[in-house]
Structure 1
Amino acid sequence: MTPHLMLALQAAGLWSGLLILLLLVLSGVVSSGRRRHLVSFGDGGNPELQSATRAFGNCVEYAAPGMAAMGLLAVLGAEPWMVHAVGGTLFAGRIIHALGLLFQTGPSLGRVLGMGLTWISLLAAAVGLIAYAIV
């Protein structure tokens, strides 16, 4: 394995690991909310649980393809800085979005900024994957 590939894979591993930790934290928020509100399944119509459930679900929906993309970028020969840029932007976007859902009601700057960063990271990953696949 070349040093370049190893660095890119380490970058993908770093950001994927951090995203998985974020998912565990958000899952814990859902679980503790269910215990606190005595809800065994779903959100029970509780607004706090609805927000927590969506913060977790939304993170899963975007983190999974982002993690796959980072791994593929690394294997296809992307520069380690590119994998770090995609991972760091995605991680920041997911944290900011989750905070916007958990601590604000309705539309919020956190949700808008978080989704913007998420979309930018996934767009960069998609463009990079296509470029490395056809070159």
Structure 2
Amino acid sequence: MLNISITGFYLALLALLYIGFAIRIIKLRYKYKTGIGDGGHDELAQAVRVHGNFAEYAPLAMLMLACAEINGSSQLLIHGVGAAFFIGRILHGIGITQTQGPSKGRQAGMLISFATLLVLAIENIRLFLG
């Protein structure tokens, strides 16, 4: 039987984070009475980008994590990469909401996200090549 329970665990954590990001947008839309777009409100624009950036990166990362787990990668690597990606997404979200310009949280979050994608790409190629 196929078992990707580690990936499932990180998918669950990321789903909760995604819901949190969505709830923040809903609250800000209510606050600014803005149904579509950001209405020119920087705080809402930042929240929308946090949510959008998450939606752009998380599916690829989790698909690659699942492939690595299915194909026999070590549990330690799967946990390490899953945890790192989760932390990276939190840091990125915090970083964007702190300032409109560059921030250490945003930079660290993207660096961690890119690093996890790179590690997963290399690991999946390694597993394919045997």
User: Normalising TM by the smaller chain, what interval?
Assistant: over 0.9
- Which moved further from structure 2: 100-109 or 31-40? 100-109
Aligned partner letter, 1:43:
D
Q: Distance in 2 between matches of 1:44 and 1:76?
A: 46
| Matched-pair identity in % | 33
RMSD: 1.1
Q: How does 1:47-86 map to 2 (within 5 A)?
A: 47-86=42-81
| 1:105 aligns to 2:100 (yes or no) | yes
Partner of 1:122: 117
Give the 3-state SS of the residue equivalent to 1:84 in structure 2: helix
Give the 3-state SS of the residue equivalent to 2:36 in structure 1: coil
Aligned partner letter, 2:37:
G
Count of matched residue positions in the alignment of Structure 1 and Structure 2: 130
Q: Distance in 2 between matches of 1:129 and 1:114?
A: 22
Q: Distance in 1 between matches of 2:11 and 2:124?
A: 17
1:122 shift after superposition = 0.7
Q: Distance in 2 between matches of 1:123 and 1:130?
A: 11
Residues 85-113 of structure 1: per-residue CA shift (max 9 Å, x gap): 11111000000000011122311000111
Runs of 4+ in structure 1 displaced over 2 angstroms?
Answer: none
1:120 shift after superposition = 0.7
Q: Distance in 2 between matches of 1:92 and 1:38?
A: 32
Residues 57-103 of structure 1: per-residue CA shift (max 9 Å, x gap): 01111111111111111111111111111111100000000001112
Any unmatched runs of 5+ in structure 2?
none
Partner of 1:94: 89
- Which moved further from structure 2: 20-29 or 100-109? 100-109
Partner of 1:36: 31
TM-score (norm 1): 0.92
Q: Distance in 1 between matches of 2:84 and 2:77?
A: 11
Any unmatched runs of 5+ in structure 1?
none
